[in-house]
Amino acid sequence: MPEMIESLKKHGFTEYEAKAYVALVGGLGGMATAREICEVSGVPPGGADIHCVKSACR
């Protein structure tokens, strides 16, 4: 998975966006709450970090 995250970052994703996207698509089957995405991806919950989860999922 680190390779996929690095690849996404090369395409303009931030670290948190890439981690959230990989968690959502790879581990959570495409549907999850922001809390679930944070738990699986390691993206800290709260504040601006939730915005990156929403951004990655667009």
The residue type found at 5 is: I
Instruction: Give one DSSP letter per residue of the chain, joined into a string.
Output: -HHHHHHHHHTT--HHHHHHHHIIIIISTT---HHHHHHHH-PPPSTHHHHHHHHHT-
pLDDT at residue 29, rounded to an integer: 74
Flag whether the pTM goes above 0.85: no
**Confidence bin at 58 (pLDDT 50/70/90):** low
Q: Tell me the mean pLDDT in the region 4-18.
A: 91
**Domain ranges, ordered by start, for the chain:** 2-56
Mean pLDDT of 46-55: 60
Query: What's the pLDDT band for 56 if we cut at 50, 70, 90?
Result: low
